[in-house]
Structure 1
Amino acid sequence: MRIRTLWAPIIALCAIILLTGCWDTKDINKEYLPAVMGIGKGRSDKYRVILQIPNATGKTQFLDKESKSISKAIDLIRTDSEKNIDLVHLRLMLIDKELAHEGIGNLIDFAVRANDISIKGLVAVVDGDFEKTLYHEISPTPEVSSYDFFSEEAGWTPNQSIVRIWEAYRSQNSFSEDMAIPMLKNGDRTLFTFRGTAVMREDRMVGTLSQDETLLYNLFKGKYTGGTIEVAQNTSVLIENAKIKHRRGWSEQGPSLITEVTLNVLITEKPKGKSNKRIEKEMCEQLSRQFNDTLNKIRGYKSDVLGTGLIFRPYLSEKNLMKWKSKWFPMLEQKVNVHVNILNEIYFKDPDTDMGQGGLLKSS
């Protein structure tokens, strides 16, 4: 009896200790979990913050406030909301193009410093009507989210650039790399329409790349999965894999870089009678020309968006590394050569063959 009396308070104390681990749990039904945050210029204040909050039915709720700082605007949203605002599930940060031209350094710094925002979240620039894009909705489809447009398992293709908050923070503070940010606007029958890529110099938008130029940018970066290239009329190929090889050099005239791009492709469409050798030749000439035109365009922006400084970084002293963007990158002589190999793994319908007799021919 005495032993039971001694053990009773000990067991009760242990139970109390275990229960204290759940003291700060929150009811999810009393929380708003925004998936998208839009940051634009306010009508009466410096910033306008719009939060998109999806629900299980596929509909979206919008919360909107203006203030002189992003933190204060979010605090005002929390003040007027009947539920707690938790940004832990924020997947996409949309920035108005006008702000992007002025500089987004403070916006990225805010996202990195905020304790409840994941740095794995994505960043994009709104090229068009900011309010219309943020308030745009399509018919309720619970299985589709804004994040899917940037997911390699869903809607993403190499014609779109992609950058996460931590990558944007790294690039804007890097001596050897600038960043490229996807540009989008509201779609007609889809949530978004991609407009190309915003080219940044440090934290400011200085130019744009088209969708075709974005594909070349992604190829240079090794992101090509699902990329389709149109070679000529009625001829297109799918990139199976790519090999990128850089040859660095440094002379009295400054740095030089020759990049050899080898593409293994599958023909997905071609006119009858056009040989694979001819397609390979056309692709090499076309892509080499487009690559080098894109390089000249980027050089005109004075933005090392391709990250060529990273290729030279092991060979740069700390002093030269700090001068890369201002001194050495403008002096860089750069060229890209493209080589193409066609793989024989796609079957085509032969228009002259009766489908009832198996009208599928292997490419040659």
Structure 2
Amino acid sequence: MKKIGVFLCILNCLFLLTGCWDRKELSEIKVVAGMAIDKGENAKYKVTVEALNAAELNTQSASGNAPTLVEGIEGDSISEITHLFNEYYAQLLIFSHMKVLVISEEIASAGRLDFIDFLERNREIRDDFNIIIAKDGKAEDILKIAAHYRKASSLKISPQLDHLLEDWGGDPGMSIINFISELNLEGKEPVLAAVRLKGDVEKGMSTENIRKVTPDAIVEVDSLAIFKNSKLAGFLSLEDSRNYLWIRNDVKTTSLSIECEKGDFSAIRVAESQTEVTSKWKNNKPSIHVGIKAEGYIEGTQCYKSVEELGTIEKYEQLVNKTFSKKIADTITNVQRQYEADIFGFGEVMRRQDYHAFMKVKDKWDKEFAKADVKVDVDFVLRRSGIRSKSFLTETEK
């Protein structure tokens, strides 16, 4: 009996001490930070990857060499291409830490998005990377720009998008699972953030780009890409992107500029916000109401110098309500007229709130959305005025 116990103990230890069957030594792998999809010249796709040179990302071991290696291969299948990169790289590419997927405007406009099936199926690729559209240029160029922050373009773009969403609103934060879901969703069209390369791509590829106070090239968040019927339909401005997020209840904090007197503006910081949308069938067309409740404080002012004066706070609140009710309504109207694409999910809301009415028009919802009555009401409450109640401008005018 004692021998059996010893045998079982040894057997248990063997199971605990077994290694991973698919392990790879660190010296044998290279981490991919970003992937770009362009139209190939001689094939369906051109896939470009940005692979990190780990030694150059470490301040203690950096020697001034290129922080990343960027190469591209053409082919008809994204899956096959990803296994061919040892044409260029000596190490095995690992995609599990990918931060950015860049899709060219040309590919998105043609609706060639079937490669997403591979990205969703692949067990090594996580669902935590940003998907963006490269506007007015090649997707591969976005990955070639040496950046001040962490030196790699992908490692700069990913937090850039996250911080923009957190601090102002401008990136829809679309994961690949959500994007696929919205491509197939009744009553909602998907959107993605769009970026643009500003400057000279050839100069931006050099490590000298990092050493300059004003870089020769930089990647900027430009706008919001609208999809319709699985194809890129057009773009909205960055401010419209913020309005889109506000309607979707995805704005965390943001800053507003309101014209309080002709040529004079005040800055308002929104600290909290809550959006409720109702959508129902009324008078033979959709009737949509967007109600936004928000609160915040004054960040700076060029008029209404003292909030202690009776009625000043109410003036600020009324200005915010009037100004941004109109701006958000204008964004919706623009999308209705120009694209007839319900990116806001009003159809999805109607499906939940007025199911039978929506099912009658779901096959032509975009047409119905285009003629919908939409009302936007912003209810803003000013909680405080910063650390002072009077502007210094009041004192200098005396």
TM-score range, shorter chain: 0.7 to 0.9
Indicate conservation of the 8 Å contact 1:35/1:92, yes or no.
yes
Match of 2:381 among 338, 341, 346: 341
Structure 1: state its 5+ residue gaps.
355-364
Q: Find the counterpart in structure 2 of residue 201 from structure 1.
A: 228
Q: Find the counterpart in structure 1 of residue 203 from structure 2.
A: none
**Residue identity opposite 1:87 in structure 2:** F
Aligned pairs for 1:265-276 (under 5 A) are 265-274=296-305, 275-276=312-313
Q: Deviations over 1:229-268 (max 9, x none)?
A: 1112431211111232334332341221122222212111
Taking the aligned partners of 2:258 and 2:165, their CA distance within structure 1 comes to: 25
Taking the aligned partners of 1:154 and 1:172, their CA distance within structure 2 comes to: 22
Q: Report the CA distance shift for 1:17/1:243 in structure 2 as closer, same or farther (over 3 A).
A: closer
Identity %: 18
**Residue identity opposite 1:132 in structure 2:** D
Q: Deviations over 1:6-25 (max 9, x none)?
A: 77766654444334343332
Taking the aligned partners of 1:124 and 1:186, their CA distance within structure 2 comes to: 13
Q: Report the CA distance shift for 1:31/1:179 in structure 2 as closer, same or farther (over 3 A).
A: same
Q: Report the CA distance shift for 1:76/1:145 in structure 2 as closer, same or farther (over 3 A).
A: same
Indicate conservation of the 8 Å contact 1:179/1:200, yes or no.
yes
**Residue identity opposite 1:121 in structure 2:** F
Superposed displacement of residue 145, structure 1: 3.3
TM-score (norm 1): 0.86
SS at match of 2:150: coil
Superposed displacement of residue 322, structure 1: 4.1
Indicate conservation of the 8 Å contact 1:261/1:338, yes or no.
yes
Q: Deviations over 1:119-150 (max 9, x none)?
A: 23221000132243221112463696332112
Q: Find the counterpart in structure 2 of residue 141 from structure 1.
A: 150
**Residue identity opposite 1:347 in structure 2:** I
Q: Find the counterpart in structure 2 of residue 237 from structure 1.
A: 268
Aligned pairs for 1:301-316 (under 5 A) are 301-314=339-352, 315-316=354-355
Q: Report the CA distance shift for 1:78/1:155 in structure 2 as closer, same or farther (over 3 A).
A: farther
Across the aligned residues of Structure 1 and Structure 2, the Cα RMSD in angstroms comes to 2.8
Aligned pairs for 1:69-84 (under 5 A) are 69-84=77-92
Aligned pairs for 1:319-334 (under 5 A) are 319-320=359-360, 322-323=362-363, 325-326=365-366, 328-334=368-374
**Residue identity opposite 2:266 in structure 1:** T
Q: Report the CA distance shift for 1:351/1:289 in structure 2 as closer, same or farther (over 3 A).
A: closer
Q: Report the CA distance shift for 1:336/1:10 in structure 2 as closer, same or farther (over 3 A).
A: closer
TM-score (norm 2): 0.79
**Residue identity opposite 1:265 in structure 2:** G
**Residue identity opposite 2:346 in structure 1:** T
Superposed displacement of residue 153, structure 1: 9.1
Superposed displacement of residue 327, structure 1: 5.1
Which stretch has the larger CA shift, 310-319 or 108-117? 310-319
Match of 2:196 among 185, 198, 211: 185
Q: Find the counterpart in structure 1 of residue 205 from structure 2.
A: none
Q: Deviations over 1:257-292 (max 9, x none)?
A: 122222212111111435333333332222122122
Indicate conservation of the 8 Å contact 1:199/1:208, yes or no.
yes
Q: Find the counterpart in structure 2 of residue 38 from structure 1.
A: 36
Taking the aligned partners of 2:167 and 2:364, their CA distance within structure 1 comes to: 32
**Residue identity opposite 2:382 in structure 1:** I
Indicate conservation of the 8 Å contact 1:149/1:155, yes or no.
no
Match of 2:281 among 246, 250, 258: 250
Aligned pairs for 1:161-172 (under 5 A) are 161-172=172-183
Taking the aligned partners of 2:165 and 2:102, their CA distance within structure 1 comes to: 20
SS at match of 2:23: coil
Superposed displacement of residue 105, structure 1: 3.2
Taking the aligned partners of 2:169 and 2:320, their CA distance within structure 1 comes to: 18
Match of 1:216 among 223, 230, 243: 243
Match of 1:285 among 304, 318, 322: 322
Taking the aligned partners of 2:103 and 2:38, their CA distance within structure 1 comes to: 6
Taking the aligned partners of 1:184 and 1:196, their CA distance within structure 2 comes to: 7
**Residue identity opposite 1:174 in structure 2:** L
Q: Does 1:86 align with 2:94?
A: yes
SS at match of 1:268: strand
Indicate conservation of the 8 Å contact 1:173/1:202, yes or no.
no
Q: Does 1:122 align with 2:130?
A: yes
Q: Does 1:226 align with 2:253?
A: yes
